[in-house]
Structure 1
Amino acid sequence: MGVANALQAVLAGANQIQGTINGYGERCGNANLCSIIANLNLKMNIQCIKKENLKKLSEVSNFINELANLPINNKLPFVGKSAFAHKGGIHVSAVMRDTSTYEHIEPELVGNKRRVLVSDLSGRSNITYKLNELGITNVDDDNLSIILQELKKLENNGYEFENVDASFELFVKKFSGNYVPKIELIETEINTRQIIPSSDSFAKVKVRINNQVIENQSSGTGPVNALDNALRKTLINEYPALKEVELKDYRVRVVSGSKGTESLVRVIIESSDKNFLVNNRCF
């Protein structure tokens, strides 16, 4: 309502609008300047900032979000990560022919970009678009059908490929015929011993790295920390950059609650080094 009222006020003669980037503010927030600026420039032909500056709108939104240290709202109009995202197969097929069928502006005008998501709603167009985006060209029509079928099967079992391009790329490469994993987890063993009031956790791992099998073990504060330490000891020589990577957060979500403690769960992991924040999902 704040954005709508502000735009109507301009049409009524107002020459000053107050708001905040991303609509941040106490209580229920403020009018979102990102939406106001984009609407004035692109919908109402009122140039309040230059075109070259308008292309930085998404960048400014993300920068302010980082400064505020608040959860990212991907659903913000114009600047949100999902503002120009397409999921359904019919939608993607139409967008590939004419972007105006499902997009009200070109996302680049506000510094955003088009995203095609891969999910259980995907069609061949989604897969084709994503393969081109990732530079994968060695997938024929037969493999494309198999990939789509297997992807839908995994998604129906709780897997998620929407925001994990690297996982999707690995998934596709498994159907290329010459895929050899660089890292293969063969075996893990985790034990926790509790002697009240304290407890100890131990982890053993067996990993194949470039056809060489390596075993290691480590202790830690809890099973997750113990497993993390054991894997680091195993991988650090081959991947020294892991020294800079640390766990920021992880969350467990129940995918299917019909089996009690046997339920399938999805673990969302956030890792970071000095430059990047990486989100991973595993089951």
Structure 2
Amino acid sequence: MARAIEIYDTTLRDGTQAENFNLSVEDKVRITLALDQLGIDYIEGGWPGANPMSVDYFNKIRRHKLTVARLTAFGSTRHIKNNPEQDANLQALLQAETPVITIFGKSWDIHVTDALNISLEENLEIIEDTLAFLKPSVDELIYDAEHFFDGFKNNPDYALATLASAVRGGAGTLVLCDTNGGTLPHELPAIIKTVKNTLDRDDAAVKLGIHSHNDSETAVANALVAVHCGITHVQGTMNGFGERCGNANLTSILPALIFKMGHDCTAAARIDELYRTSRLINELANLPHNRYQPYVGESAFAHKGGIHVSAVKRNPLTYEHIEPEKVGNNRRILISDQAGRANILHKAEQWGLRLKPDDPLLSAIILDLKEKENQGYKYEAAEASFELLMREALGLQRKFFRVEGFRVMNNKYRIDRPPLTEATIRLYVGGHEVHTASMGDGPVNALDRALRKALTRFYPCLEEMGLSDYKVRVLSGEHGTEAKVRVLVESTDNVCQWRTVGVSINIIEASWQALIDSVNYKLLKAEGLLG
């Protein structure tokens, strides 16, 4: 039966515990606004008592009005030696002035005796009186039952007793946490059924939630199974960031709830913002996008084999479980040595190139593609280079310039200082000979600067572009330092990005090929010659 599901995002707190995942206060504010725009119900801003950055965040986010989300502060039960009124952690939570507070407490008896070093009865007491102290000051109290599933499996009666204490303290939502991420989906139904039966006897108005970690690669599955079992509150992080192996990934959970399970949530009306929001968070954290991520990855709706492409063009449902546009993503047809006629024709149509199925040039393009890939070229991630290859075959490639030669010199004048790199280039633009030189941070940077220095006075648009990424892959190690390398260059002009490729046994030559393609692509783009 379809139900309304609450979505609780903890990217700003639990997500930031991931290795190499770091956000400034300004980043956190921007992410909060993006999550609100997406339609997330609760945004956990952090633990005010943990560090000054969290305090700063809560001060700054007050200047912004959220349209959908309810901001939440996170903290622990009081210290056993403190009364609630004197506990610094609880006071910091109140000073954050959020409408919702989430408190976590121990559900696993081993944690109570070994980690907190208190009695089981004392733990029940601090759960109840912590929540009871906070209750009058907030609109809503959420209780995270830490290590609940491990605790239930070890001592079910005590784990249930901790929930009862939270209910007596005033918690409106009880969140069952798989903190160590070791619970498997088949274990959840019986445990959740027991919890629900207990609550039905004690307080049926209390909502149940799930908070799952991904240490067994089942965090998303556990969240969805929990919803299937009647849970109506789901916690997770965007892109699955979190401590160790991460948290339940909301970018997978949201589409599954909405499109697969038929449940309602506030984000359903804005789910086409999911792809954009996912990428924004990666960009702010300065982390690469996971291209293989379901729903929001670049490869989520990418098709490579010719048979697949042909079928998808007739009916996308043949190889796509949902329409990519529903989550803001898009379909991609890849070009590779597996490519058939359907791939090439699809790309030609996409790029505005006139190419018919019976055109003899189609076979020539396929043969050229296969020969190039036999040499080591790969075009899945370098579609700009492939578009140039197709235009060359069709006689549509304009000759903007002609290079006569180049030279790169590395001079190591002192062993304790970096080398000086200089590139010189001689080329022709029309009847004009241009001979330029430029210094750079390494040979590729020097070549890029010299090339654009030579061309910019003829094509000012090149001032807009620059290299944003550069990758080198050794294609075969059997020849040692004589092995062939493939260079992938990503360029941008602050409007869009494009990637080009070069292959050679000489890394400078391979880089040069990719640079030349990049510049030619930009010039075609600037003159409106691209489809």
Above 0.5 in TM-score?
Answer: yes
1:184 aligns with 2:402: yes
* 2:485 equivalent in structure 1: 265
Counterpart amino acid of residue 32 in structure 1 = N
Instruction: Map 1:73-222 to 2 at 5 A.
Output: 73-138=290-355, 141-177=359-395, 179-197=397-415, 198=417, 199-210=419-430, 212-222=432-442
Deviation readout 1:115-152 (Å, 9 max, x if unpaired)? 10001110001001111111111465210000001101
Aligned-pair distance for 1:228?
Answer: 2.8
**Long gaps (5+) in structure 1:** none
Counterpart amino acid of residue 233 in structure 1 = K
Question: Identity, % of aligned pairs?
Answer: 47
Relative distance call for 1:210 and 1:25 in structure 2 (3 A) is farther
Relative distance call for 1:45 and 1:175 in structure 2 (3 A) is same
* Higher deviation after alignment, 163-172 or 90-99: 163-172
Aligned-pair distance for 1:39?
Answer: 0.4
Q: Alignment partner for residue 451 of structure 2, among 224, 231, 237?
A: 231
Q: What secondary structure sits across from 1:81 in the alignment? A: coil
* 2:63 equivalent in structure 1: none
Aligned-pair distance for 1:227?
Answer: 2.1
Relative distance call for 1:173 and 1:16 in structure 2 (3 A) is same
Counterpart amino acid of residue 192 in structure 1 = N
Whether the 8 Å contact between 1:117 and 1:162 is mirrored in structure 2 is yes
Distance in 2 (alpha carbons) for counterparts of 1:143 and 1:268: 27
Q: Alignment partner for residue 16 of structure 1, among 233, 236, 240?
A: 233
Aligned-pair distance for 1:266?
Answer: 1.4
Q: Which has the higher contact order (CA 8 A, sep 6+)?
A: 2
Coordinate RMSD, CA, aligned? 2.1
Aligned-pair distance for 1:255?
Answer: 1.7
Whether the 8 Å contact between 2:402 and 2:428 is mirrored in structure 1 is yes
Deviation readout 1:90-131 (Å, 9 max, x if unpaired)? 111111122111111111111111110001110001001111
Q: What secondary structure sits across from 1:174 in the alignment? A: helix
Counterpart amino acid of residue 250 in structure 1 = Y
Whether the 8 Å contact between 1:253 and 1:266 is mirrored in structure 2 is yes
Distance in 1 (alpha carbons) for counterparts of 2:498 and 2:320: 28
Aligned-pair distance for 1:175?
Answer: 1.4
**Long gaps (5+) in structure 2:** 1-217, 503-509, 511-531
Deviation readout 1:149-204 (Å, 9 max, x if unpaired)? 11011012111111323211210111123533213333111222333325433322
Whether the 8 Å contact between 1:41 and 1:49 is mirrored in structure 2 is no
Instruction: Map 1:29-44 to 2 at 5 A.
Output: 29-44=246-261
Distance in 2 (alpha carbons) for counterparts of 1:225 and 1:177: 31
TM-score, normalization by structure 2: 0.50
Whether the 8 Å contact between 2:382 and 2:488 is mirrored in structure 1 is no
* 2:460 equivalent in structure 1: 240
**Whose helix fraction is larger, Structure 1's or Structure 2's?**
2
Distance in 2 (alpha carbons) for counterparts of 1:83 and 1:104: 10
Relative distance call for 1:58 and 1:221 in structure 2 (3 A) is closer
Matched residue count: 283
Distance in 1 (alpha carbons) for counterparts of 2:427 and 2:269: 50
Kindly name which structure, 1 or 2, has the bigger radius of gyration based on alpha carbons.
2
